[in-house]
Amino acid sequence: MSKEWDLNIFFRKDYNADTEETTMDDVLTINPVVWTMEDGVTQTWYTDIIYTTTFAEARYLRSQYAEKEYGYDWTDNLENFLEIAPPRLASLLKTLPEPGKFFDEHLLSLVG
């Protein structure tokens, strides 16, 4: 089974039931996920790991991932992201364990 880190990158939305308005954060949330492929079948395994950008990091990343092309929620492979990542985020993401080890130790225990 092939395993890689992908990143779910998004602007978090909040809904206020009192005003019935939805607001969007001005910073990005990055959720690392383990992407797997086995026998031609792919799956995405979400983790509980969450990173939040600063406002400046979000503006820079938006310049690299144009809204018109990527929208407000997109994914990228960790290796691709590290090529353009701001230094603080790159440093944090480089501490992620090897995806196969993380998958075996954390995610498989959740599903059986």
Task: Decide which of 5 and 109 is more confident.
Answer: 5
Strands 41-46 and 73-77: unpaired
pLDDT for 24-35, tens place per residue?
Answer: 999 999 999 999
Residues 6+ apart with CB under 8 A from 89: 30, 51, 53, 57
The residue segments making up the domain with residue 50 are: 2-111
Q: Which residue has the tokens 């809204």?
A: 67
Number of folded domains that form the chain: 1
SS (H, E, C) 47-98: CCCCEECCHHHHHHHHHHCCHHHHCCEEEEEHHHHHHHCCHHHHHHHCCCCC
pTM (predicted TM-score):
0.86
Given a cut of 60, whether residue 108 has pLDDT beyond it is no
Given a cut of 70, whether residue 110 has pLDDT beyond it is no
pLDDT for 37-96, tens place per residue?
Answer: 889 888 888 889 999 999 999 999 999 999 999 999 999 999 999 999 999 999 999 999
